[in-house]
Structure 1
Amino acid sequence: MIEVAPLRYGVIFKKVFSKPHIFTAFVKDMLGIEIEISKVETEKSFSPVIGNVDSRFDLFAQDKKNRFIVDIQYKRYKDHYDRFLHYHCAALLEQITSSANYKPDMQVYTIVVLTSGDKHKTDILVTDFSPKKLDGTCITETQHKIVYVCPKYVTDKTPEPYQEWLKAINDSLDNQVEENDYQNEIVQEIFSLIKKDKISPEEYARMKDEYSDEEYMQEQIQKAREEEVLLMAKNMKEAKVAIKTIAEVTGLSMEQIESL
């Protein structure tokens, strides 16, 4: 058993997966695609900005045929399927420079790692852009794809080679891993890179900043929820709904409702 820095932190995830050979191995096992790249960019954005939002990709790499995006998300957002669809489409739209040809030079593949889980509680979800006949048969015109992986829900039924990667990411989240449980040499290398004694003071400082941001976000989400409940109770009270019923629906106390 070794102590490690959790891969839920962007600074740690990028430290590991920005290495071209690790990124390449991850893409191969997640997408089944062999790629040749010399670098992986972090916090990649396009200039000029595509659309109204300056989308930034955690990890971005491309070979001659494909663009690959890997994003890690620890916070749970209600809109993360739409959020990463937007990122994915930005990487498509940036390639189109003329109305004479809408076919991008490169296919775009996005892998989203949801370390905190997802409401659907599924290990792997795929958004596939291939046109399909009514009987479900695919037409191989567009290969673009978004793959959402949730390490929290990996099971023995999760297909190889996803399984070992997802287990490794999930195991790191409690700050320790049993390295002898893993056979993949790249995964072993990752554990070596994220050992606590290999984390620099600068990386620890950035981890602390990320943790503070997460706490603040959770506080804001909780505050918004409380305000929604109070507004609902107020509206019900104005509509002459019985105080007891309002309390049952909202979970507020009689005193809280009376004070509205």
Structure 2
Amino acid sequence: MQAVASLRYGVIFKKAFSQPDIFTAFVKDILGIELDIDQVETEKSFPSPVGSIDSRFDLFAEDKTQRIIVDIQHRRYSDHYHCFLHYHCAALLEQGVTAKNYQPALEVYTIVILTSGDRHQRDMSQIDFDPKDRHGQGLGEIPHKILYLCPKYVNAETPEPWREWLLAIDDSLDEQVDETHYHKACVQKVLETIRKDTFTPQERARMKDEYSEEAWLQDKLGETLQQGLEQGLQQGLEQGRQEEKEEVALRLLAKGMEVALVAEVTGLPLEQVQSLSQ
């Protein structure tokens, strides 16, 4: 077993995946794209913010034909799908300043790593921008896409090229990995890069800052959920009406509570809560 720093921390993820050879190997396995780059930028932002919001990308690289963005996200937010859709669109629209028409010069791909999981419990979900006919067949006009990857939900159907990367990321979260389980050279390099005895004092300080911020947010979320639960249950018990139970369920789902737990708390059927979550 090897002691490592968790890849849930942005400073650690960026330390490992900002190495061009690791970044390009990861992108090739996930997207099937060969990148020609010699630099990966971290905390990338554009000189003129798009939509009056200064979007910052954890990892950002581009060659002559493709612009690749990789973001690491540990905390669950109710809007993380929308958040990274905005980031992706900002990277598209930023090209419009110099483009001759509305077609961006670079294809844009965004990979989001959700290390804490997601309420949908999928190993991968995708936003594909290509127009479809009424039979769902793509026209091959627009290549841009967003991939949301959840290492926690790797399963037998997860594509083989992805598996070792996602398993290694998930394995690192408890700060112990069995390095003998991994055979890809770049995955081994990631594990070597995040060994606990390789960090600078500055990197350790950044880790502590991230940990403290996360702990504070979790405390505040716990308080909010508890208040919502108490208020919602009291209303449900007093009113005893189906509409009130559904309102409570919607509030809890919006705060990120798992579907099964919402069903248990509200007494609504699991299928009904799943329908409300959609």
User: What is the TM-score when the length of structure 2 is the normalising length?
Assistant: 0.82
- How far off is 1:35 after superposition? 0.7
User: SS of the residue aligned with 1:221?
Assistant: helix
User: SS of the residue aligned with 1:89?
Assistant: helix
- How far off is 1:197 after superposition? 0.9
Alignment of 1:1-260 (within 5 A): 1-97=1-97, 101-229=101-229, 232=232, 241=239
Distance 1:183 1:46 in 2: 37
Indicate the structure with greater helix content: 2
The gaps in structure 1 that reach 5 residues or longer are: 251-260
User: SS of the residue aligned with 1:95?
Assistant: helix
The residue that corresponds to 2:252 in the other structure is none
The gaps in structure 2 that reach 5 residues or longer are: 246-263, 267-278
- How far off is 1:229 after superposition? 4.1
> After superposition, what is the alpha-carbon deviation per residue over 1:152-184, rounded to whole angstroms, capped at 9, x for unaligned?
011232111000100010111111111111110
- How far off is 1:224 after superposition? 2.4
> After superposition, what is the alpha-carbon deviation per residue over 1:4-38, rounded to whole angstroms, capped at 9, x for unaligned?
11111000000001111111111101100001011
User: SS of the residue aligned with 2:146?
Assistant: strand
- How far off is 1:52 after superposition? 3.0
Distance 1:127 1:145 in 2: 6
> After superposition, what is the alpha-carbon deviation per residue over 1:45-67, rounded to whole angstroms, capped at 9, x for unaligned?
11211113211100001001111
> After superposition, what is the alpha-carbon deviation per residue over 1:49-107, rounded to whole angstroms, capped at 9, x for unaligned?
11132111000010011110000000000111001000000000100027961111101
Identity, in percent, stands at 56
User: SS of the residue aligned with 1:67?
Assistant: strand
The one-letter amino acid of 1:199's match is F
- How far off is 1:196 after superposition? 1.0
Higher radius of gyration, 1 or 2: 1
The one-letter amino acid of 2:18's match is S
Kindly tell me: are residues 225 and 141 of structure 1, through their superposed partners in 2, closer, same or farther at Cα, counting changes over 3 Å? Answer: same
Kindly tell me: are residues 230 and 23 of structure 1, through their superposed partners in 2, closer, same or farther at Cα, counting changes over 3 Å? Answer: same
The one-letter amino acid of 1:214's match is E
Distance 1:15 1:55 in 2: 20
Task: Supply the RMSD in Å over aligned alpha carbons.
Answer: 2.3
Is the Cα–Cα contact under 8 Å of residues 152 and 170 in structure 2 kept in the other structure? yes
The one-letter amino acid of 2:181's match is D
User: SS of the residue aligned with 1:142?
Assistant: coil
The one-letter amino acid of 1:108's match is V
User: SS of the residue aligned with 1:94?
Assistant: helix
Distance 1:43 1:146 in 2: 19
Distance 1:46 1:208 in 2: 28
> After superposition, what is the alpha-carbon deviation per residue over 1:182-236, rounded to whole angstroms, capped at 9, x for unaligned?
1101011111111111122221111110001101111222232234345547877
User: SS of the residue aligned with 2:111?
Assistant: strand
User: SS of the residue aligned with 2:12?
Assistant: helix
Distance 1:184 1:122 in 2: 24
Is the Cα–Cα contact under 8 Å of residues 99 and 105 in structure 2 kept in the other structure? no
Give the length in aligned residue pairs: 246
User: What is the TM-score when the length of structure 1 is the normalising length?
Assistant: 0.88
